[in-house]
Structure 1
Amino acid sequence: MSPDLHRRHLTGMSMGLLLVLFIAAAGCSGTANPATTSPSGFEEDLAAITSAPQYTHVSWGLIVVDPSTGQTLYAKNADRMFIPASTTKLFSSAAVLEALGPDYRIKTPVYAVGKADTNGNLDGNLVLVASGDPTMGGRTLPDGTIEFTDSDHSESRALLTKTDPVSGLNDLARQVKAAGITKVSDVVIDDRLFANYQGDVMALLSPIVINENIVDLSITPGAPGTAPNVVMRPQTSLYTFDNQATTGPAGSTTLLDAGEVPAGTIVLVGTIPADAGTVNKSVSILNPAAFARTLFIEALQRQGVAVAAPVTGDNPATKLPAAGSYSSAKKVAELTSPPLSEDVKLTLKVSQNMHANYYVMLLALADNKTTYYDGMRKEGRVLRSLGLDTTALSLGDGAGGDRVDFVSPSAVAQLLTLMSKRPYADQYIRAQPILGVDGSTVHHCAPGNPACGRVYAKTGTYSYPDPLNEGRNILISKGLAGYVDTKSGKRLVFAEYVNNVPISDTVNGTSVGIDLGSIAGLIYRYY
């Protein structure tokens, strides 16, 4: 699967509540440049890319707009609907920035519920109140920014950050110790902010998030026929590890899979070539509250705070005080998140699915609502308040994997144009991957492409197997949408999509991404 492939299917009640947002692109034409007797240089060079044999049966859509005037400089099928894949994140990120503001921060408190004696022994429990922080300090750098890698740990070509995923919990544990607490009866995670939510092939959304609720496995091969060495991050006693993988011959294919099966046991299966080097795999955990509780207890123990209850096990939610009663308890620690603009940068740079869908929940919470459907309705209201119409796209999620996600290039261009005029425009623009420099477009700039480093644009990739044709894959969608600083000195808006490209030995998400990057290069040269 492609790095930012996202799919989600709604079932039961959620299907009945399906949201459809329609957004038009005012002032964006669906026709090409004014007719001429011969194609322009731009059109000739564009055709050299789009008419290649691998694109025989595809659909192309492209628009270029000058946001300073609203003038459409070029358009091809700009009003037709395309599958947006992860360019959907442009909409959810825009909505959450507009609704909450780029400087919005989330505070996660810890309360001592009970009475402590003069020696710091708490006859009661520590309660960490989950407040919807999607990083919980696990990516925060010393300067307050959020660390990311070009391929996030939730993806198939995972690269791990250098930050400690439990550093936020370590900070809270130090504060508890500094407050004079030396021993507690138990630790409880209050995850009542909203009910856990998960659609098909969609990361579980929970009020408490540690390390994106993922356990990372770094797998290093041994000698052929032996088990590889595995390091788990974060290290925790919550899980037992069952290593069923083997090292294959040098030059063989990496075929590894891992999961929590059954609950409390992480199993690794498959093979890794002897010459593969270290390969990272991620495992989504099944019980976020239990995961966070154990990790917090272990952080407290490292600070010398004893916990009388067992370290592992389920989160004892029955020990929670009545909702809203914390005013009578003592707050002994608090973690403050980086500004929202930093999280949006993470989401757009690496196409972080969970965070994009989390924005939908944050939008719901802003209206004192608690369901994903409420969040999508709020997103629609926010986008319309920006000036967007309701006729040129449909959205069912924040990440770009829902079956009803469709956009027109003109609608995307309208969003990008409107966002270029917001007070936080620079933060939104620079949060996007820089072509050939970082994030999901780092490998999408061909040698000699003059636009490398001058394009701020979100990618989208969606592929699916084609069993009829011997199991080949179809690149259902590949998109690139954002801003390009052109040779003439203008900053232009563009959105380009190609749908339904057969994947082969020579054609894949990266090669098509390079072609899209090359089209951005033509925009740089000709406009």
Structure 2
Amino acid sequence: MPAPADAEPPVAPSAPPTSPRRRGRLVAVLAVVLLLVLTGAGVVVTRPGPVAGWLGEDAASAPTAAGPAAEPAPADVLDGPDPNAPLPAPDGVRAALDPLVGVPALGDRVNVSVADVITGQTLFAKGADDGTMPASVTKLATAVTVLAARGAGYRIPTRAVAGAKPGEVVIVGGGDPTLAVDKKSYYPGAARLDDLAAQVRTALGGTAPTSVTVDGTIYSGPVYGPGWDEDIPTDGYGAAVTALMTNGARKDPGAEAGGAERVAEPDLAAGRSFARLLGVPASTVKRGTAPALATAAGGAPPPGTELGAVQSPPLIRLVDIMISESDNLVAEALARQVALARSQTASFDGAAAAMDAEVAALGLPAEEITLSDGSGLSRRNRISPSLLTDLIRLAASPDHPELAGVFGGLPVGGWSGTLGARYRGAPGTAAGAGVVRAKTGTLSGVHAIAGLVTTADGRLLTFAVLTDRVPGGTDTAQPALDRIAAALAGCGCR
């Protein structure tokens, strides 16, 4: 997320370093299982984009999940790492990185973790266990925890039920932020309100709809996150988090990725769109709660009867969107799916607690992650760089093939997503083009990156660099950050 122009750099509270402790060795493989057979979902989802070829799969023959096929990548993007490549030496990595992590452009708090994916050996650590403001790198934790909690094939439902009054239709939001009104959708493959409306008309038979009630009670608590900057609700990168919305709360589904004008009340806006499709006046739309199933006289469906349902794309596709576009509304929706899966309240607090619990259940040090949201917009979030590299290595482990979906949407240096314009022209960054795959994070005063990089010898490493006291802007901080990953890409470090 681009830093707001008028935002002040944060004053991050000093955090004492955590006690040294031994991290469990996470055995990983280069050829991660990327084809997931989703039991119970009735679909087979394969990894879109360059990652299938990069990790040894046949990218050309792999169908994608919902959405169009990825643009073909340059050959160097698809080059796979060498499983026999030599392991970099910690002293060599230190020699390459020490001059880069102390540059003024990154400020006086630069915390770094670099580890080998196969062995788990730590190759470089500087404040690696210290909780640091991660910005949108938080989405890596959201991706791993939701894949663990829900599974890659889970789909978020949006339902319509008969209301208590004759002709009343209650639309029940399940938390799908990608829901579209009609075929003009921001998100490819999204569920559509016009399909739901057609189901409702069929189910009602001769009964004419008279009103629409919006039930978003699956979510609770504030609609804006704790620790969000004051301009987040209006700057186009955030919006009210409600259980019912269309096109990520965008006013125009044709808006480009990134900042876009959002509606102030996404649930009511979606309800009015649904009312229009049913031929019901917008003035009848109100918030309420769906009735429990009851018996009713006459030919009308009993109150509480389901009149129709549509489902989001598979969760693995939503994870791709969240990571590749750094979509904050999708991130908050996925965080609340973790809460629902763990029987927590679907609120900012409930989602944060559930993600913490999921990290602990995966055997990782939950004391090194403190969250207030799932998108990284909150300045209260803290994650240690070493926890991020642990999460990435765990996702590459053959013991957790369900987590491999985190890799599909990772932007590629100089080619895609939030790294598409990076690792190109800035001096000292070219070595990272095509071989850095990472999630970025940006708030004013905060710059972060975490992901994977292949060394010049073909060794696959995972890295995380978090800075939250950056004195300047993105023009100087991002190239300085990119030089760190590019140095790993350009050296054997032996």
Alignment of 1:401-416 (within 5 A): 401-416=377-392
Look up the SS of the partner of 1:357 in the other structure: helix
The code of the aligned residue for 1:205 comes to V
Counterparts of 1:416-427 in structure 2, within 5 Å, are 416-421=392-397, 422-427=400-405
Aligned to 2:177: 134
Q: How does 1:160-179 map to 2 (within 5 A)?
A: 161=186, 168-179=192-203
1:25–1:410 contact (8 Å) kept in structure 2: no
Q: Could you tell me which amino acid in structure 1 is paired with residue 419 of structure 2?
A: T
Gap regions ≥5 residues in structure 2: 8-17, 26-87, 233-238, 295-300
Residue number in structure 2 paired with 1:78 = 128
Matched, 1:497 2:476: no
Match of 1:342?
A: 317
Q: Which residue of 1 aligns with 2:42?
A: none
Task: Pick one of 453, 469, 485 that aligns with 1:484.
Answer: 453
Q: Which of residues 222, 242, 257 in structure 2 aligns to 1:197?
A: 222
Distance 2:254 2:276 in 1: 11
For 1:11, the equivalent position in structure 2 comes to: none
Q: Does 1:517 align with 2:482?
A: yes
Q: CA deviation at 1:84?
A: 1.2
Distance 2:183 2:19 in 1: 35
The answer to whether the 8 Å contact 1:24/1:392 transfers is no
CA distance in 2, matches of 1:497, 1:316: 42
Contact 1:429 1:483 in 2 (8 A): no
Alignment of 1:424-439 (within 5 A): 424-439=402-417
TM-score normalized by the length of structure 1: 0.66
SS at match of 2:413: coil
Asked if the contact 1:27/1:72 (under 8 Å) is kept, the reply is no
Q: 1:352 to 1:375 in 2, by over 3 A?
A: same
Is the contact between residue 290 and residue 315 of structure 1 (CA under 8 Å) also seen in structure 2?
A: yes
User: 1:73/1:52 Cα in 2 relative to 1: closer, same or farther (>3 Å)?
Assistant: closer
SS in 1 for 2:309: strand
**What is the CA–CA distance in structure 2 between the aligned matches of 1:345 and 1:459, rounded to whole Å?**
14
TM-score (norm 2): 0.70
- In the superposition, relative to structure 1, how do residues 79 and 382 fare at CA in structure 2: closer, same or farther (>3 Å)? closer
SS in 2 for 1:424: helix
Q: Which runs of 5+ in 1 are unaligned?
A: 8-21, 116-122, 142-146, 148-160, 217-232, 236-277, 301-305, 464-474
- Residues 28 and 454 (structure 1 numbering): CA distance in 2 closer, same or farther, change over 3 Å? farther
**Rounded Cα–Cα distance in structure 1 between residues aligned with 2:271 and 2:436:** 43
Give, in angstroms, the shift of residue 80 of structure 1: 3.3
Counterpart of 1:155 in structure 2 is: none
Distance in 2, matches of 1:129 and 1:23, equals 47
Pairwise mapping of residues 446-457 of structure 1 onto structure 2 (< 5 A)? 446-447=424-425, 449-457=430-438
Q: Secondary structure at the match of 1:501?
A: coil
Residues 1:349 and 1:137: Cα distance change in structure 2 (over 3 Å): same
Query: Is 1:434–1:453's contact at 8 Å kept on the other side of the alignment?
Result: yes
Pick the structure with greater CA Rg: 1
Match of 2:242?
206
Give the direction of change, closer, same or farther, for the CA distance of 1:128–1:376 in structure 2 (3 Å limit).
same
Q: Distance in 2 between matches of 1:67 and 1:410?
A: 13
Contact 1:109–1:334 (Cα < 8 Å) also in 2: yes
Letter in 1 for 2:167: G
Whether the 8 Å contact between 2:211 and 2:284 is mirrored in structure 1 is no
- Matched with 2:105 is 54
CA contact (8 A) 2:105 2:480 kept: no
1:280 & 1:79 partners in 2: Cα distance?
A: 31
For the Cα contact (< 8 Å) 1:134–1:358, is it kept in 2?
yes
The 5-angstrom pairing of residues 264-343 of structure 1 reads 282-300=260-278, 306-307=279-280, 310-312=281-283, 314-315=285-286, 317=288, 321-323=290-292, 325=294, 329-343=304-318
1:4 and 1:99 map into 2 onto residues whose CA distance is 33
Are residue 109 (structure 1) and residue 109 (structure 2) matched? no
Q: Distance in 2 between matches of 1:100 and 1:50?
A: 37
Is contact 2:257-2:325 (8 Å) kept? no
Question: How big is the shift at 1:184?
Answer: 1.5
Structure 1's 138 and 511: CA in aligned 2 closer, same or farther, altered over 3 A? farther
Aligned partners of 2:215 and 2:290 also within 8 Å = no
Q: SS where residue 448 of structure 2 aligns?
A: strand
CA distance in 2, matches of 1:179, 1:393: 47
SS of the residue aligned with 2:308?
strand
SS at match of 1:450: helix
CA deviation after TM superposition for structure 1 residue 403, in Å: 3.9
Secondary structure in structure 2 of the residue aligned to 1:480: strand
Do the aligned residues in 1 keep the contact of 2:187 with 2:247 (CA within 8 Å)? no
Residues 190/491 of structure 1: CA separation in 2 closer, same or farther (3 Å cut): same
Please give the secondary structure, in 1, of the residue aligned with 2:270: helix
Amino acid at match of 2:452: Y
- Select 2:443's aligned residue among 459, 462, 465: 462
Shift, 1:510, TM fit: 4.7
CA contact (8 A) 2:169 2:209 kept: yes
Q: Does 2:336 align with 1:361?
A: yes
What is the CA distance between 1:177 and its match in structure 2? Answer: 4.4
SS at match of 1:479: strand
Cα offset, 1:28, TM superposition: 9.0
Superposed displacement of residue 206, structure 1: 1.3
Question: Distance between the aligned counterparts of 2:407 and 2:434, measured in 1?
Answer: 13
CA RMSD across the alignment: 3.7
**Residue type of the alignment partner of 1:436:** G
Aligned to 1:248: none
